[in-house]
Amino acid sequence: MERDVLADATGWAARHLPSRPGQTPTVLTGLLLEASAGAPATAGLVVCAFDTEVAVRAPVAAEVAEPGRVLVPGRLLADIVRSLSATVVEVEVDGERLVLRCGSVRFTVPLMDPADYPELPRFPAPIGEVDTLGFAAAVGQVAPAAGRDETVPVLTAIRLEITGRGLTLAATDRYRLAVRGIPWQPTVEDPWALAHVPARVLAEVARTPTPASRIVVGLDVADPAGARLGLAAAGRQTIVRLIDGTFPNYRKLLPDTAAYTVTASTAALAAAVRRVAVVATRTAPLRFTLSTDQIVAEAGDGGGAQASETIPVEYAGPELSVLFNPQYLLDGLGAVEDDEATIGFVAADPGEASARPAVLTGKDSGARGRDGRPADGGAFRYLLMPIRTDPSA
């Protein structure tokens, strides 16, 4: 088989191995290799990984002399294959060891017992297809807003709302909320489902290059072992157990209107925030002061380093002063696809601007309906809570 193809498959599968091997059964640190002989359409090698939550399968075109399955230390195998330089790799089993030959190079690796490996879940019944690039872009926009605190598992998920009209992705860590809708092509009648998918899994799918123009979506909510979502493209499958829990009712958080809006160059605003944030601290975060046609971005305190920058904007409201977590704001600006970004402030009273959310969108994202859905079918929206100031300070 080709070295590059095998390296890509083993490297991709190894990324799904348990991140803390000492806290999981040793058998789950292995990659399962399944070789099939026969017709060209079904013959070849499949590289599998499974951590009881996420299962992946990656096919590799190969000439198979003898079918079978073996379990190999996963990260070691991926490192070995990546180190090879010749173009063709030969793999065989010699007793209790796997032998890899590539040119003049020969590796032997001790095998693990495949009988101890848990059965991989089947790919769920397909319910539709989604454009690969569009899906990857949407995941990239909302994933940064997902929580990292595993004590509230549902907040580490991306909420996937599946209807006949499209897919809506949403994520929140309580301090910010990102929402994006995209079209898709259902293959079943009247699809409707809610799925809380680990954000890290969708992010991995989104950043994995694939020649496929469409991703097949499968869903099984009746699996006794737990509801699962499946994503498949170019033969590769990712099957993930869904997260239980109640996701916040985010639609009621999205305001219908903004009292004041400011529009600026997305790139210029992000660059200014990035520069000023160099001196920002937990006690002295980023401060935005808005006045007619300008924002003054400031950070730092009187006893240490300070920075300020004035950014030209479109703004005609009263003077506002708001504190933001600079990284949260940069995450939102980085997800805006338009050349210009708009920040809408909900509070009608300028004095309450720090207590009410701000909503970041692209300037050309379009209007939104009363149900909280963008009128254009899925424009990106990023709701960010300012940092509240201490009235006694």
Domain boundaries, the chain: 3-110, 127-241, 260-384
Same fold for the pair 3-110 and 260-384: yes
pLDDT score recorded for residue 370: 38
Residue 82 has pLDDT above 90, yes or no: yes
Nearest to 245 by CA among 294, 210, 196: 196
**What is the pTM for the complete model shown?**
0.91
387, 323 contact by CB (below 8 A) = yes
Average pLDDT of span 252-257: 89
CATH class of 3-110: alpha beta
**367 or 123, higher pLDDT:** 123
Query: Of 34-43, 290-299, 372-381, where does mean pLDDT reach its minimum?
Result: 372-381
Q: Which residues contact 261 (CB under 8 A, 6 or more apart)?
A: 315, 317, 342, 343, 344, 345
pLDDT band at 39 (very low <50, low <70, confident <90, very high): low
Compute CA distances 264 → 11, 291, 340, whole Å.
Answer: 41, 13, 6
Residue 338 has pLDDT above 50, yes or no: yes
What separation, in Å, do the N-terminal and C-terminal C-alpha atoms of the chain show? 68
pLDDT band at 375 (very low <50, low <70, confident <90, very high): very low
CATH class of 127-241: alpha beta
pLDDT score recorded for residue 184: 96
Residue 63 has pLDDT above 50, yes or no: yes
CATH class of 260-384: alpha beta
Q: Which residues of 371-382 are buried (b: 16+ CB within 10 A; e: fewer)?
A: ebbbeeebbbbb
In whole angstroms, give the CA distance from residue 196 to residue 16.
19
Partners of 377 in the beta sheet? none
pLDDT band at 27 (very low <50, low <70, confident <90, very high): very high
Neighbours of 146 (CB within 10 A): 23
Residue 40 has pLDDT above 70, yes or no: no
For Cα atoms 10, 14, 15, give the angle at the middle one, nearest 5 degrees. Answer: 125
